[in-house]
């Protein structure tokens, strides 16, 4: 079969152009260490890379939400500890006031308990950023207000504040990060009411000591038990979120490694390919100069 000069020229130029394109591709890859710059470079690795990028983005989102939830629960934990200390102090005052030989004036005890109520209101209005942690889902509204008669009004709700930290639907039971006001202060805010009743009794200067030593201290104990239960439940939830953070951070490392394997260039191999292709390209130029048909310019020379 006869091969025409045009066919030979076309074939040579086509091969030379492919070699030049490959050289440019290798040069681009070596310049930034990435094997993929466009889907056509490697469709299969491109699909894998896109999948890993999506997984990494989702994992990063969940990791950040876990950290936000931990900040919320850390703030709540600190507030509950302060509230617990406050209730313990209220019981100490009640016991000292009704002991066989009271070592504290009733009016002074009443005044200190009044201060404890104000402190409890402040704890109930604890904020993280611009959100009230004990207001339920009405977290932009101040939940507790002390009234002129000493009572306390609650303006929030007791709904769960949930954070999605894994794929799937949010579960209020498993994903709630807040401690509701009712689980701390009682369904009808009993803690405030009972402390206010105790204060009013002592403020008279002639309190019913039998009532205080009986139902009064018993109610404080009940409130304390409720606080301990809420605190224990929060502690268990905080441990779960810590484990979840560790798992998500581990997943992030794995996905990062997978993404690097899908995107990063095998540099030693690429350098060898580059040098080999460069040699082939230069050889092709040299051979082409010899086998290409002479042009009119060559004859004139």
Distances (CA, A) of 104 to 117, 118, 251, 295: 19, 21, 59, 118
Q: Mean pLDDT across the stretch 209-228?
A: 91
Average pLDDT over the chain reads: 81
Q: How is residue 246 annotated by DSSP?
A: H
Q: Sketch the domain layout of the chain as residue ranges.
A: 12-29+266-301, 50-259
Task: Output the pTM of the full model.
Answer: 0.75
Alpha-carbon span 127 to 135, nearest angstrom: 10
Chain segment 2-16, per-residue pLDDT in tens: 555 566 565 555 665
Q: Which of the four pLDDT bands, split at 50, 70 and 90, describes residue 97?
A: confident
Burial class for 49, CB neighbours closer than 10 Å (0-12, 13-18, 19+): buried
Does position 159 have pLDDT exceeding 70, yes or no? yes
To the question of domain 50-259 being in CATH 1.20.1330.10, the answer is yes
- List, for residues 98-151, the tens digit of each pLDDT value: 776 665 688 888 999 999 999 999 999 999 999 999 999 999 999 999 999 999
């Amino acid at each position: 079969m006869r091969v025409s000069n045009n066919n030979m020229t076309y074939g040579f130029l086509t091969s030379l152009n492919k070699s030049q394109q490959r050289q440019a591709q290798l040069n681009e890859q070596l310049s930034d260490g990435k094997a993929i710059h466009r889907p056509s470079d490697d469709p299969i690795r491109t699909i894998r890379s896109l999948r890993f990028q999506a997984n990494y983005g989702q994992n990063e989102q969940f990791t950040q939400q876990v950290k936000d939830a931990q900040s919320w629960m850390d703030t709540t934990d600190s507030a509950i500890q302060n509230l617990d200390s406050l209730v313990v102090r209220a019981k100490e005052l009640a016991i000292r006031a009704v002991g066989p030989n009271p070592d504290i004036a009733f009016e002074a005890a009443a005044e200190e308990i009044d201060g404890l109520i104000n402190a409890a209101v402040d704890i109930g209005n604890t904020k993280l950023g611009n959100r009230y942690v004990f207001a339920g889902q009405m977290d932009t509204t101040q939940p507790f207000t002390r009234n002129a008669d000493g009572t306390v009004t609650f303006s929030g709700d007791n709904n769960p504040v949930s954070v999605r930290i894994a794929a799937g639907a949010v579960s209020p039971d498993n994903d709630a990060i807040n401690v509701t006001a009712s689980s701390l202060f009682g369904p009808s805010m009993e803690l405030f009411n009972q402390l206010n009743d105790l204060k009013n009794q002592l403020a008279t200067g002639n309190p019913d000591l039998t009532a205080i030593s009986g139902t009064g201290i018993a109610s404080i104990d009940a409130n304390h038990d409720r606080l301990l239960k809420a605190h224990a439940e929060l502690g268990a939830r905080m441990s779960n979120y810590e484990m979840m953070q560790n798992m998500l951070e581990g997943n992030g490392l794995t996905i990062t490694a997978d993404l690097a394997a899908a995107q990063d260039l095998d540099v030693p191999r690429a350098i060898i390919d580059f040098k080999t292709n460069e040699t082939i390209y230069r050889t092709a130029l040299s051979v082409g100069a010899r086998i290409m048909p002479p042009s009119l310019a060559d004859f004139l020379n």
